[in-house]
A and B are shown apart, each in its own frame.
Chain A
């Protein structure tokens, strides 16, 4: 009987305590963040969308190799000795034209593995996370600043240069060969025979 009354009392009392707690919370300011209107600031290099500062990229392909899902695609063309490609911000001389630098951000898993190996620290993650698109195609980001025409031009230039170089080389070789023919070398065997 005593237990019965105590149970009743406990039941009512604990409910009242609970009600007091919830009533207090009615007046506690809400923790909700009104998301699209108010945003929490994220760290500058939070793991979200990748960004490539193409001016600093030397086209070393380290990031492409590091990526576990192969979503970075880079093509490079060698610069001519006469071309001035400029330097990176930490003073390295650039030697390659980066003709294609695509990141398929739809495949990216935000692992940040491409960020660490970059020698010039030009590929990094940003705090941008709202970049949904209606078409998957639109999620392939192209960071290369060269226009297709320029790319063609670079390729042609390089091929021409290589062709010229090859031609020059061939010419040099041919000249060398011709010179050798005009003045035949001494036959070593003859000397040998003579000494015997």
Chain B
């Protein structure tokens, strides 16, 4: 991918900078605009309402208008806040969620960085978000912010464990940490996807693996949901208890930054789930480009399938958000430590035994 860009721009550094900024401007920003509206529409229709209707046809331009409004807002820093940390926090949070996109394979030719430890890297940098949230909560000098930040830290740190165990299960099965390789292994048709046993196993083991892969998928989905602070795990910003949690004191562009990273994160974790379990960028039914004999169509199709699957899981996240009430703090910890982790560990053992067969 970088070779193509280098050829176009004639300079490696420029090519790398553009390559790095590509997902941000080509995908994340439009996606966030779309997803915020989508969330409002989904929530509205689930509650038999209509949602935004007045800006553009059925409110399509609502988020654009909101963004313009946020851009014009006064940037307030409360006098008691710790200025440096306060100003830095939203960017760190965004950095954490954006850095994860570097190792996500959007298509066989587009992957920001094809590093061998892709999934490990993503797990590592997404913990960066905690630092930003804690910073924001602490620097705001507001008890609600601090409480929200503390909760968020506790939550993200705990839920990283089941995530890591499930990822370990997958790594054991596929034998690689490289997300691109994992995607390639699940090629061709959907019965090669990891959720259906993956292409690695053969015959009987593949069938035996299915229930355990489903369990692994559910655990991963729940714990990543918790990691991005989405309902039912949104206690860090529980508006009925903590005003807006760690971003209570933020306004204008900095608030938008938190918003942006929340939605970017939603897509990032969906992308991880898709890559690990649902074939990544692989089409479920084979490629049009193959049957028509147009090779350049394949990466485009892959991109389409990847984004479609990712957006579907983002939709599931929204769906869950508008279905479930928020968990209590102790329930949150119970779900993680008493349920997810034991299940994840047993799953790891059983998958290990099956793959030895």
Contact = CB atoms under 8 A, between A and B. Distances in A.
Interface in B39-86: 42, 44-50, 53
Contacts of B320: 15, 19
Contact of B339 (A8, A22, A31): A8
Interface residues of B, number: 18
Contacts of A15: 320, 323-324
A26 B323 contact: no
A68 interface: no
B343 interface: yes
Contacts of B45: 25-27, 30
Interface string A24-55: 01111111101000000000000000000000
B319 interface: yes
Contacts of B49: 30-32
Interface of A: 7-8, 11-12, 15, 18-19, 21-23, 25-32, 34
B171 interface: no
B46 A25 contact: yes
B322 interface: yes
B323 A30 contact: no
Contacts of A7: 339
Instruction: Rank and list the top 3 A-B pairs by shortest CB-CB distance, nearest first.
Output: A32-B50, A18-B323, A22-B323
Given A12-B218, A34-B53, A19 B319 contact: yes
A31 B21 CA distance: 43
Nearest to A33: B50
B101 to A, nearest CB: 28
A129 to B, nearest CB: 21
B48 A25 contact: yes
Contacts of B47: 25
A87 B319 CA distance: 68
Contacts of B343: 8
Contacts, number: 44
**Chain A binding surface SS class:** helix
Interface in B201-249: 218
27 contacts: A7-B339, A8-B339, A11-B335, A11-B339, A12-B218, A15-B320, A15-B323, A15-B324, A18-B323, A19-B319, A19-B320, A21-B323, A22-B319, A23-B46, A25-B45, A25-B46, A25-B47, A26-B45, A26-B46, A29-B48, A30-B45, A30-B48, A30-B49, A30-B50, A32-B48, A32-B50, A32-B53
Interface of B: 42, 44-50, 53, 218, 319-320, 322-324, 335, 339, 343
A22 B339 CA distance: 25
User: For B42, B218, B323, B335, which residue has the most chain A Cβ atoms within 10 angstroms?
Assistant: B323
A11 B49 CA distance: 28
Given A8-B339, A8-B343, A30 B322 contact: no
A18 B53 CA distance: 27
Contacts of B339: 7-8, 11
A162 B343 CA distance: 103
Q: Select the residue from B46, B49, B218, B320 with max chain A CB neighbours within 10 A.
A: B46
> Counting chain A CB atoms within 10 Å of each CB, which of B42, B44, B48, B320 scores highest?
B48
B324 A30 contact: no
A26 B343 CA distance: 33
Nearest to B41: A26
B48 A31 contact: yes
Most buried by A among B42, B44, B50: B50
Given A23-B46, A32-B48, 4 more contacts: A7-B339, A22-B323, A23-B319, A28-B48
B218 A19 contact: no
Contacts of B42: 26
Nearest to B43: A22
A31 B44 CA distance: 10
B319 A30 contact: no
Contacts of B322: 22
